[in-house]
Chain A
Amino acid sequence: MTTPEIAVTTTNISTTPERELLMPPRSFKDVLRSGVRWESGLVILFLASLVYGWSVTSYFLNMETLFFAGLNFGEIAIMALPMTLIIITGEIDLSVASMLGLSASTLGYLFMHGWNIWAAMAICLMVGILGGALNGFLVTRLGLPSIAVTIGTLTLYRGIALIVLGSNTAVGFPAWTQNLSSPIGNTHIAYDFALFVVLALVFGVVLHMTALGRSIYAIGLQPETAFFSGIRVKRIKFSLYVVSGFLCAFAGILYTFQQASSASDTGVGLELNVVAIALFGGVSIFGGRGTIFGVVVSVAIFASLQSSLTAINISGQAQSIVTGCLLLLSVLVPNAIESMSRLWPRIRSRRPSMEVS
């Protein structure tokens, strides 16, 4: 009995015909192809940005640039790591920057009220854990949509930061903390950068090589199947939010020490930068797709571009245009590739063609 081995949509009777027309136009092969292509594309882009930077100023490729880039981008890069995992599971966390601000404000407030700096830091990290737990609780226990929830907690945490620190600026942190804004020892590596690299390795191993990472992808692609296979979907999502809260609080502490001050508006608006970096790194907003490597290269590209553009005196705000364009390209280009590949007859023979009216 020969059953043509064509894609399941025509042999499985329970799929509605129109459904086929409307499914996201990706077979895994295309996804895989475009994924590998995406990460490779990113690497090429990174090298191109280095070339550009070098062409703009001959100082570009020296160590100091690396140092400052690492310093400026450290916090955003660190926050992008848990964000990546959360987006892969199909959720989002828009409260990251507010948590950074809340942690910074708490640190400032406690320190200014005579707390021991270590104890204050511990409290900040606890706040991060609690904030993450609240997000996790609302999303997993109450089943609320994460985009709406984290807009709410974004507002709430920023609000609490305001209540805690008001319009004050906390200064006068212990002298040793200022070392964080200097390179490590004799190298030109910023502490931020080093921390990011370590964390990236940990996240990379977890996401790509462990059962937890596999589960995260399964949750993003098909949460019901994941649950039916014994994966603890809720627990994993909850934990990811807690990790995110913790790391954002940690980033807030780092940021404060680097700036040697903290205010309640620390980090306002950064959440969109973090999301942008993850999306540009190949993490699909729909979930189930993305790599740590892609995000790392994405960070590198943004950092490098920022350095070169600043070197030619383009303001931070104006650099936004570059961020925006990169973000748009990150979704338009894969789409364009797909549309083109659908026109190739070779691809056509593997799947039923969809005649669009």
Chain B
Amino acid sequence: MATTTAGSTFVTKILRFRELAIVVAIVLVFALTYLKNSSFASTASIQQMLSGPSIIIMLAVGETLVIVTRNVDLSVGSVLGLSAYLVGDLFVHYPHMPVAVALLVGLLIGLVCGVVNGAIVAYARVPALVVTLGMLYIIRGIDAIVVNGVQIQPSQIPQSFVNLGSGSLIGIPYLFWIAAVAVAIVGYVMRTFRPARDLYAIGSNPEAAILAGVRVPRRVFSAFAISGALAGLGGALWLAEFATVASTAGSGYELNVVAAVVVGGVAIFGGSGTILGAALGALLLNTIDQALVASRVSSFWNQAVAGILLLVAIAFDRYVSLRAEKILRVEGAHRDNA
């Protein structure tokens, strides 16, 4: 009885298609690079491919929540830097701090920053771009003061923590496990629980969301809080991975995160996109990075390629939505004349 139109099938297909397309792209890049440099498929190389993007994947997960609500969080890079440093500093003073506590501290630092962002954006109703930009500056400043020119050295970080950053479980790096778990949990929540669906509603049509009884300020606040928390956790992981932090850590990261998320199919104006997509976007960008290195293309090409890829992704999304609209419009006309 119910009619499924070709238009709606097209749209649904394209959406699922997006994640598949990214996976295919990743595989393609991998294959092409392997042909040029067979050591690209070595264990070490693959592990690097998995652990490399793990932190940016964490940040991308949080950023997705925010972008879905039609906002943006530009402070994630600075939050990461601040968190990395503070956790490192904590290790300097308390060398026997357990790994779990270190991660928790990082998360809490990020949470505090996220809460401030969320409070201002959600309750004072000011544009997120401006607020998170301001917070980016403030946090960077605080970071500079706290760091005061001192760099955390690898020797100051306990081995157990460093192992988290370089070790692996059944061949897969811990970092990747952590990122994967985050993606799995948050991804599942986004599909399955009402408060998460509210986020999509807010981004899709903010006025309708209010009418539908969605507690918009509360949800937006939570999205920023989680984004901050994940950025803070990312900072702790950064410390684990690199074991050294300067005051410039994380600087400029935020735009990479937004780029990854957009490549992954999350609409910049909110309302659609998946956690898995965002993670895959980050994975793709990072794989290309490493592929360029492995095929001995000068690493100077990384950025340019990333830029082109982002532009292609945006143009593609637009093309898809225009096609879908046209199909649905023509269908609609035919249906009435039937």
Query: B300 touching A318 by the CB < 8 A rule?
Result: no
CB distance from A274 to the nearest CB of B (A): 11
CA distance A323 to B140 in the complex (A): 11
A299 at the interface (CB under 8 A from B): no
Q: Which of the candidate stretches B16-24, B45-53, B119-127 sits at the interface with the other chain?
A: B119-127
B301 close to A151 (CB less than 8 A): no
Residues 146-161 of A at the B interface (beta carbon under 8 Å):
147-149, 151-160
Most buried by A among B252, B258, B310: B310
Are the CB atoms of A148 and B314 closer together than 8 Å? yes
A276 to B129, CA, bound (A): 10
Residue of A148, A315, A331 near B126 (CB, 8 A) is A331
Give the residues from 1 to 48 in chain A that come closer than 8 angstroms, CB to CB, to chain B.
18-19, 21-22
How many B residues have CB within 8 A of the partner chain? 51
Is A145 interfacial (CB 8 A cutoff)?
A: yes
Cβ–Cβ < 8 Å partners of B323 in chain A: none
Cβ contact within 8 Å between A285 and B130: yes
Interface presence of A325 (CB below 8 A) = yes
Verify A162–B303 contact, CB threshold 8 A.
Answer: yes
> Quick check: is B145 within 8 A (CB to CB) of the other chain?
yes
Q: When chains A and B are docked, how far (Å) is the Cα of A330 from the Cα of B130?
A: 9
Query: Residue on B with the closest CB to A275?
Result: B133
Also in contact, A272 and B318, with CB within 8 A (given A152-B259, A163-B300): no
State in angstroms the CA–CA spacing of A326 and B134 once bound together: 8
Report yes or no: A159 in contact with B311, Cβ–Cβ below 8 A. no
Q: How far is the CA of A350 from the CA of B138 in the complex (A)?
A: 40
Of the residues B130, B142, B255, B304, contact of A321 by C-beta under 8 Å: B142
Name the residue on A nearest B74 (C-beta).
Answer: A272
CA A155 to CA B310, docked complex, whole Å: 9
B331 within 8 A of A: no
- A325 / chain B contacts, CB cutoff of 8 Å: 134, 138
Given the contacts A159-B302, A318-B144, A285 and B129 also touching, CB distance less than 8 Å:
yes
Per-position 1/0 for A319-357, Cβ under 8 A of B:
111111111101110010000000000000000000000
Residues B131 and A331 in contact, CB atoms below 8 Å apart: yes
> In this assembly, does A198 line the interface, its C-beta being within 8 Å of a C-beta of chain B?
no
* Cβ contacts A to B, 15 pairs, < 8 Å: A19-B207, A94-B255, A147-B129, A148-B310, A149-B314, A153-B311, A155-B255, A159-B303, A163-B304, A268-B252, A319-B141, A320-B137, A320-B144, A323-B141, A324-B133
Known: A156-B306, A324-B134, A328-B135. 13 other contacts (CB 8 A): A142-B318, A145-B268, A149-B314, A154-B307, A159-B300, A163-B298, A166-B298, A285-B127, A285-B130, A320-B138, A327-B133, A327-B137, A328-B134
The residues of A with any CB-CB pair to B shorter than 8 Å are 18-19, 21-22, 94, 138, 142-145, 147-149, 151-160, 162-163, 166-167, 264, 268-269, 272, 275-276, 279, 285-286, 315, 317-328, 330-332, 335
